[in-house]
Amino acid sequence: MIDQKPILEVSNLCTTFRRGGVDLPAVRDVSFSVGQGEVLGLVGESGSGKSVTLRSILGLSRRYGDVTGEVRWLGQDIASMPERKLRHIRGREIAMIFQEPMTSLNPLLTVGMQLTETLKAHTDLNRAARRDRAIEMLDHVGIPSAASRLGEFPHQFSGGMRQRVMIAIALAASPKLLLADEPTTALDVTIQAQILDLILSLADEMQMGVILVTHDLGVVAQTCENVAVMYAGRVVEQGAVRQVLGAPRHPYTVGLMRSVPQNVPPRTQLYSVPGTPPSLEALPVGCAFASRCQNRTERCLTARPTLDAITDDRRVACFNPVAAEKAGAA
Amino acid sequence: MNEPVMTIENLGLEFPLGRTLYDVVQRRPGRVVNALNGVSLQLNKGETLGVVGESGCGKSTLARCIVRLYEPQHGQIHYHGQDIFEAEAKKDRSYNRRVQMMFQDPYSSLNPRMTTGQILSEALRVHDMRPANEIPARVAELLDLVRLPQDAADKLPHEFSGGQRQRIAIARSLAVEPEVLIADELVSALDVSVQAQVVNLLLELQERLNLTILFVAHDLRLVRHVSNRVAVIYLGRIVEIGDSETLFSRPSHPYSQALLSAAPSLDPDDKGKAIRLEGELPSPLNVPSGCPFHVRCRHATELCKREVPALLPRDGRGEVACHHVEELN
Ligand SMILES: Nc1ncnc2c1ncn2[C@@H]1O[C@H](COP(=O)(O)OP(=O)(O)OP(=O)(O)O)[C@@H](O)[C@H]1O
Ligand SMILES: Nc1ncnc2c1ncn2[C@@H]1O[C@H](COP(=O)(O)OP(=O)(O)O)[C@@H](O)[C@H]1O
Ligand code: SF4
Ligand code: SF4
Ligand SMILES: [Mg+2]
Ligand SMILES: [Mg+2]
């Protein structure tokens, strides 16, 4: 499925914000590609740069910070494309589902108007067809009585329903690439299953590529082919889902897998990676995970590990990766 | 152990919707959303009651009624025997401190122009929790409690990531030393490792302070882990309630069974085990007759279309609202 040429190629993406004269390296040297119909998972601690990565791909970080590196969309570098041209790609070819639905839906417009506006901007459908399509999309994402709820305002919907409206808007114009930032985090499992099914079927039938940011490793396991794990702005482990989740090699990924409440006695303390991620203003010179890592050695404090291939389709940024046998048992 | 802190009886709440253009064209009156429909439950001292159910089923509405953000049209809520919606009780501000809501969307509930330190100090001041000179030390303690660095005190909400903001909101709730925490999707926006920290924190604080927690979440693994008891809600009604381990290992209600089977497994090879629900999606605008689940239930009969099943106790298996629960299990 991913044999074809990738549709999106991100190379050495770096995004830096400035705050009170200090540089914040929110994203560092992130590289990956997404093929037609491929679903790539992006996981990592909050603040690790997942959302900034997605926003940088869409050219939405430039207003607030400094973006370097290359973002090739169908062969064309869009990182340096002027805003005016980029606007034709955004929403139409590449759509994004934002993490905070209430801040991205317009509270003053009805749900129906917001959907049909998107369709007006990005498709050639006429008025009646736009309305039909809007109902069809709401129906797809599981909004009951879709036709009669078009006239309602976002605050009349529950949190999960607003999130589904966002998803409907993003998918309405049949994009070729979907950037989905925690799209099902606010949803319950039955609707989540339905929406993931919808995204997967679009990936399959329309050959839509997807980058799925989530912190639910179960969702990654059930939906993605490949996954990249981010920590403090960098990708620390990347590879096929089956391998990364089945036998994680980076100590941080191992910690993530261990914190899932599964096979632990109820109401007991869960495993959690000790410490907190370093603040971006004060990243250590060596490995950013060092202060929390059990495998740490002298070298980790002075040099930064690069993301290197340890097998054909697995890359890890660690001087002392967890042994393959041990990882499998974790 | 079973000392009730909160007793909820037959709670019902409808939201009137304004008439839409569509309603006008159809020549019909504005409609109502049946958000809660006869919900009864008891919250016991020191327990965690998990609440699960499809989006829009009324979980947040229930939570909001408990903290008096909404006033139900039917039924009652008693807190230590006192009706919380009675005129006198409504003036009692201490209830607002004793029963704390933690919000689903922390961003909209944090004042964007106040630093974390100011947000926490304000909570302490408004409820007279500490003399002015002890406030800075308590703020430091609270930041520590939720594992935020001390320099977080000087930052504004927008300078934090979603997960960090959630921890600020938790610190604010804990500042006023509540008895009951209403945690509506509290950890849903957090990644697993932070989720684990927050859940550990909640369990630890619960034991230390004997907190009573209503835990609304859609991560079933997590609900199972933290809850003593669990209530499954469908279209504004409790369809099953009981001991958490029993309910999760052997759900009795057909909807609970479908819901639990939809939780995504960590094993990529575990595909296709979920019971996919078919049929029309439920709408609180148009609650089906009889058992509200009958339009999607594989086991529905004529009886189910006609009569609402009552929530009845089953031997050692909690309470279930299904006409055919005995034959099916
Ligand atoms: N202010 C309001 N006006 C009109 N309808 C509302 C309002 N608030 C909630 N509703 C409706 O009431 C029903 C229950 O909403 P509620 O927010 O309790 O759902 P929920 O179970 O918390 O869902 P989620 O899992 O998505 O958060 C939904 O149909 C919702 O659209
Ligand atoms: N507009 C901004 N200005 C300054 N810092 C920001 C901005 N947006 C995000 N950040 C910071 O960048 C880092 C990465 O954020 P984000 O990508 O949102 O994390 P996540 O992985 O949780 O999605 C965080 O430390 C966040 O505080
Ligand atoms: S490089 Fe060193 S500190 Fe970093 S994850 Fe690997 S072992 Fe741990
Ligand atoms: S009462 Fe009937 S329709 Fe409802 S859950 Fe039971 S079997 Fe299904
Ligand atoms: Mg994010
Ligand atoms: Mg809710």
Ligand 2, pocket-test mutation among B158, B161, B193, most atoms within 8 A of CB:
B161
> Residue A189 and residue B104: Cβ atoms within 8 Å?
no
Polymer length in residues for chain B? 329
pLDDT of amino acid B329: 85
Complex ipTM tops 0.85: no
Confidence of residue A1 (pLDDT cuts 50, 70, 90): very low
Closest to A120 (Cα-Cα) out of A131, A111, A110: A131
Determine which residue's CA is closest to atom 3 belonging to ligand 3.
Answer: A290
Identify the three-state secondary structure at position A309: strand
Determine which residue's CA is closest to atom 17 belonging to ligand 1.
Answer: A158
Closest to A28 (Cα-Cα) out of A15, A40, A41: A15
Cβ B216 vs Cβ B293: under 8 Å? no
pLDDT of amino acid B169: 86
Ligand 5 center–CA A83 separation, angstroms? 23
- Compute chain B's Rg from CA coordinates: 21
| Structure token pair of residue B289 | 């007759």
Mean pLDDT of A86-99: 90
Closest to B147 (Cα-Cα) out of B185, B190, B110, B180: B190
Residue A206 has pLDDT above 60, yes or no: yes
pLDDT of amino acid B81: 94
Compute the nearest-CA separation of B4 from chain A (Å).
21
CA distance A82 to A94: 16
| Chain A hits for B196, Cβ within 8 Å | 259, 261, 270-272
Does B265 reach chain A within 8 Å, measured CB to CB? yes
Confidence of residue A74 (pLDDT cuts 50, 70, 90): very high
pLDDT of amino acid A2: 46
Mean pLDDT of A116-133: 93
CA distance B7 to A323: 53
Q: Sort strands A65-73 and A8-19 into parallel, antiparallel or unpaired.
A: antiparallel
Sign of CA dihedral A149, A154, A159, A165: positive
Compute the nearest-CA separation of A75 from chain B (Å).
32
pLDDT of amino acid A101: 62
pLDDT of amino acid B107: 65
| Structure token pair of residue A146 | 């879709």
Compute the nearest-CA separation of B46 from chain A (Å).
13
Low-confidence ranges of chain B (pLDDT < 70): 1, 19-26, 28-29, 104-107, 162-163, 189, 272-273, 278-281
Residue A184 has pLDDT above 90, yes or no: no
| Structure token pair of residue B67 | 């903290």
pLDDT of amino acid A321: 96
**pLDDT tens-digit series, residues A126-149:** 999 999 999 999 988 888 888 988
**pLDDT tens-digit series, residues A148-166:** 889 999 888 877 788 888 8
pLDDT of amino acid B315: 84
Determine which residue's CA is closest to atom 8 belonging to ligand 1.
Answer: A156
Within 6 A (CB) of ligand 3 lie A 251, 287, 289-290, 293, 295-296, 300, 305, 318-320
Q: In what order do the strands lie in the sheet with A308-311?
A: A94-97, A177-181, A209-213, A39-44, A226-231, A234-240, A314-316, A308-311
Residue A330 has pLDDT above 50, yes or no: no
**pLDDT tens-digit series, residues A245-293:** 999 999 999 999 998 888 889 999 999 888 778 888 889 999 999 999 9
pLDDT of amino acid A221: 94
Residue of B19, B208, B266 to mutate when probing chain A, most A C-beta within 10 A: B266
Does B317 reach chain A within 8 Å, measured CB to CB? no
Identify the three-state secondary structure at position B232: strand
Ligand 3, pocket-test mutation among A296, A298, A302, A315, most atoms within 8 A of CB:
A296
> Residue A221 and residue B268: Cβ atoms within 8 Å?
yes
Question: Which residue of chain B comes nearest to A50, CA vs CA?
Answer: B161
- Contacting B residues, span 44-103, partner chain A, CB-CB under 8 Å: 48, 52-56, 60
pLDDT of amino acid A107: 87
Residue of A42, A55, A189, A224 to mutate when probing chain B, most B C-beta within 10 A: A189
Within 6 A (CB) of ligand 1 lie A 156-161, 188; B 15, 17, 33, 35, 55-61, 284
pLDDT of amino acid B279: 61
pLDDT of amino acid B280: 57
Residue A105 has pLDDT above 70, yes or no: yes
In degrees rounded to 5, what are phi and psi of residue A43? -125, 165
Residue A216 has pLDDT above 90, yes or no: no
Q: pTM of whole model > 0.90?
A: no
- Contacting B residues, span 165-194, partner chain A, CB-CB under 8 Å: 185, 188-194
pLDDT of amino acid B192: 78
